[in-house]
Amino acid sequence: MIFFLLTFLVCGVYLALMIFYFIGWKNTSPETILIPGSNTQTRTKVSIILPVRNEEKNIQRILNHLSNQDYEKNKYEILVVDDFSEDRTSELVKSAGISNLKIVSLTKNGGKKNAITEGIYHSKGELIITTDADCEMGEKWISTLVFFYEKQHPKMIVAPVLLKDETTFSEIMQSQEMTVLTASACASIYYETPILCSGANLAYEKEAFLAVNGFEGVNKTATGDDVFLMLKIQKCFPGGIKYLRSKEAIVFTHPEPNYFSALRQRRRWASKTFSYGFSHVTGVAILIFTMNFFILLSGILSAINVKFVFALIMLLSLKCIVDLMLLQSASSFFGKRIHYVFFLIASILYPVYVTFVGVLSPITSYSWKGRKS
């Protein structure tokens, strides 16, 4: 009896959350695409911060995307911050021949937070935009972000990050998950309770970064530079974070090539959950874990006693419905195709995946870019 009461409670709270997110996503107005030449009216000086470590395979492509922006060259600079790369990354940057590019090399205290901080220290722009070396963006990316900044004057702009070129089941599963996360980020910001963002597509005022003392106080956690900073800015400037719902502002990256690398990535993401302290971010993460754990537990108990089958069917069906609502709406807006059969299969496997990641992440270490944490 207690199990069924807890099941109804968890399911009800999860459904309410996802419906709220669906409403928040739908109520966030899409930004109008810039008309050609409108960026010439902007005044904002921009600094693109690109932290890199061992990115010789990606660096030339991302530099091409950043240098081919339609934003005026004298109004933005590209600062590549080399985090003790052990390959040809630094050499390739120096030979790129881009006039508004500067390379900054860390001399002590490596790590992404320190790389971003050092880049900002050397920056001249009033608006900081961060991205990653494995990303791609359209030529109106900077001008769209600046247009939105000058229109709304937020302290921080969170913009969409999506996957591209997905073909296998694993890659499509990752892509659908990323699409839902992107829409959820948008909805949470609509309610002024931001839960996530990505440093691959993030912009904020340099003054806001300095006002919250950057990453001071959160330096000990290796990852989470983006969300930690977002939470600090939200606390210091309530309502100062806006989501840019625009196709022109999308940054694309590529899915992990297989299940094991995808699991490692998700473990790395989840490892910082409890570092946020007692917050709405942690609460949402616990709710999602609990919902998926109850589905998995119902499945196990159903194999023992048929009376638990109802709980399994109810949890799985209702979760699929609300998840699909958000996925379908976001996919339609971003022009992403939904693979319904893959979605159904992924929905069945997802509870196992989330439970595995949720249990192991806080108690195991991970390795990234040759560094262990």
User: Is residue 7 over pLDDT 70?
Assistant: yes
Q: What is the tens place of the pLDDT at every residue in 271-302?
A: 776 666 667 889 999 999 999 999 999 999 99
Whole-number percent of the chain with pLDDT over 70: 91
Q: How far apart are CA 123 and CA 49, in angstroms?
A: 8
Q: How far apart are CA 363 and CA 148, in angstroms?
A: 41
User: Is residue 367 over pLDDT 90?
Assistant: no
Mean pLDDT confidence for 111-130:
95
Both ends of the chain: CA-CA distance in Å?
Answer: 42
Type of residue numbered 5:
L
Instruction: Tell me which of 110 and 344 has the higher pLDDT.
Output: 344
How distant, in Å, are the alpha carbons of 11, 34, 45 from that of 37? 50, 8, 17
Say what the pLDDT of residue 361 is. Answer: 73
* Fold assignment, 30-258: Spore Coat Polysaccharide Biosynthesis Protein SpsA; Chain A (3.90.550)
Say what the pLDDT of residue 250 is. Answer: 97
Say what the pLDDT of residue 276 is. Answer: 66
Q: Domain extents for the chain?
A: 2-24+277-361, 30-258
Q: What is the tens place of the pLDDT at every residue in 137-196?
A: 999 999 999 999 999 999 999 999 999 999 999 999 999 999 999 999 999 999 999 999
Say what the pLDDT of residue 99 is. Answer: 92
Q: What angle do CA 261, 270, 258 make, to 5 degrees?
A: 15
Cα 18 to chain centroid distance, Å, stands at 18
Say what the pLDDT of residue 42 is. Answer: 74
Segment among 64-73, 88-97, 104-113, 160-169 with least mean pLDDT: 104-113
Instruction: Please identify which residue in the block is written with the tokens 């890199």.
Output: 52
Q: Tell me the DSSP string of 118-186.
A: HHHHH---SEEEE--TT-EE-TTHHHHHHHHHHHH--SEEE--EEE-S--SHHHHHHHHHHHHHHHHHH
User: Is residue 373 over pLDDT 70?
Assistant: no
Cα 287 to chain centroid distance, Å, stands at 19
User: Is residue 21 over pLDDT 90?
Assistant: yes
Residue 190 · residue 28 · CB < 8 Å: yes
